[in-house]
Amino acid sequence: MMNEQHITDQLWEFHLGNLSEEESQQVQLHLEVCEACLRESEVVKQAVQEMAVERSQEVPPFLFTRIQGRLESVRKPAPLWKRTLVTSLGTILLLVSIWGGVKLGTMDVRQTSGTSLENPMGNLAINEMVNEPIEGYLFDFN
Amino acid sequence: MDEKQLVIDLQAGDEKAFRHLVGKYQQQVFRTAMGFVHDGSDADDIAQEVFVEVFRSVDKFRGEASLSTWIYRMTVNRSLNRLRSRKRKGFFQRIEAFFQDDADWTGEPEADCSIHPETVVGNQEMAQALQQALESLPENQRTAFVLYHYEDMAYKEIASVMKVSLASVESLIHRARKNLQKKLMNFYKK
């Protein structure tokens, strides 16, 4: 007899409406006389209701547009010929830049040496420290 | 459009087919994610991630399971990952709060969030209690419970998504319900 044993195992299915009419009636009869099961039944009922509220939430609109936005950054890679072309052009550009840099560097050295010939005071600032070391100032008590 | 054709079209990169797939499965993905994360914006984020992953990896889909099972698996994995990262964040926030000795920190609910029996339990509190109880379940119990209660899935389908036997699903759902009942009853008793 159901009234003699607790029915806590059936409570979820009871509140989900998955029991047969006969089973439901038996559960209801038991709940009328068993306070312990009634208390658990209330808790399960509230949980089932709460889940129903969450389940009823609709997907926010324009989901596909948001997905499309995300996909823009992860689109399938371009064809091989395109990637090869871009890589080659990039490499050529890099080599030309390096070559240009070297060329400019050599020109600069020549120009600098020309300037130092015209202006012998050009490197004075660097050589100053050699001629008058800093210790000279620090220990010069006179 | 039947599933086989849909997969073929998706693998060919057909945008119309992808739009059809999103329309067909978006509610299921969102609802399942909701069952795990209980937050609309997080569930929306997970749904986006799932469909992006579907788009990127549809080439690898071999049809061993149905398309919906494959999508459900992705949703469950993404949702569980989200919960793990939330937990990690919460852990670091607690450490930070400990070292900062910050009084106004509100990263984690206080331990004493119990409701007195005479108080009528509001929806908000019930929702919070249910979330906490669900989050305290082991991952496999939670997954089986969510798929059954949020998605109305049959035990057989759940077994297929979780790659476990039918008996295991039954046992997982039974244990999940028992644990939840116990935790929710404790919550009310406090």
What is the rounded distance in angstroms from the CA atom of residue A31 to the CA atom of residue B143? 30
Domain B110-190 grouped into CATH 1.10.10.10: yes
Whether B19 sits inside 8 A of A64 (CB atoms) is: yes
**A46 within 8 A of B121, measured Cβ to Cβ:** yes
What is the rounded distance in angstroms from the CA atom of residue B190 to the CA atom of residue B6? 53
ipTM: 0.79
Token duo for residue B30? 């969102």
User: CATH topology for B1-108?
Assistant: Rna Polymerase Sigma Factor; Chain: A (1.10.1740)
Per-residue pLDDT of chain A (142 residues; tens, 9 = 90+): 444 578 888 999 999 999 999 999 999 999 999 999 999 999 999 999 999 999 999 999 999 999 999 988 766 667 788 888 999 999 999 999 999 999 888 876 556 555 555 555 555 555 555 666 666 666 666 5
Give the number of other CB atoms < 10 A from CB of residue A100: 10
What is the rounded distance in angstroms from the CA atom of residue B122 to the CA atom of residue A60? 26
Per-domain residue ranges of chain B: 1-108, 110-190
**CA nearest A47 in B: which residue?**
B130
Whether B40 sits inside 8 A of A9 (CB atoms) is: no
Position A142: which residue type?
A: N
Chain B residues lying within 8 Å of A58, measured CB to CB: 27
By mean pLDDT, which of A98-107, A112-121, B128-137, B170-179 is the weakest?
A112-121
Burial class, B185, CB count within 10 angstroms (exposed 0-12 / middle 13-18 / buried 19+) = middle
Q: What is the pLDDT of residues A79-117, one digit of tens each?
A: 788 888 999 999 999 999 999 999 888 876 556 555 555
Q: How far apart are the first and last CA of chain A?
A: 117
Q: Does A37 touch chain B (CB under 8 A)?
A: no
Name the average pLDDT for chain A: 81
* Residue A111 confidence (pLDDT): 60
Chain A residues lying within 8 Å of B51, measured CB to CB: 63, 67
What is the rounded distance in angstroms from the CA atom of residue B59 to the CA atom of residue B11? 5
Whether B48 sits inside 8 A of A67 (CB atoms) is: yes
Whether A11 sits inside 8 A of B30 (CB atoms) is: no
**Helices B67-100 and B3-11: crossing angle, nearest 10°?**
60
Residues 6+ apart with CB under 8 A from B42: B33, B82
What is the rounded distance in angstroms from the CA atom of residue A30 to the CA atom of residue A4? 9
**Ramachandran assignment for B137, one of left (phi > 0), alpha (psi -120 to 50 degrees), beta (any other):** beta
**CA nearest B30 in A: which residue?**
A59
CA B153, B155, B159 angle in degrees (round to 5)?
Answer: 105
Q: What is the pLDDT of residues B65-110, one digit of tens each?
A: 999 999 999 999 999 999 999 888 777 777 777 767 655 555 544 4
% chain A with pLDDT above 90: 56
What is the rounded distance in angstroms from the CA atom of residue B47 to the CA atom of residue B33? 7
**CA nearest B31 in A: which residue?**
A55
| Nearest-CB residue to B126 (from A16, A46, A64) | A46
Q: Count the helices and strands in chain B (H runs, E runs).
A: 8, 0
* Residue B153 confidence (pLDDT): 96
Whether B22 sits inside 8 A of A67 (CB atoms) is: yes
| Nearest-CB residue to B40 (from A9, A44, A60) | A60
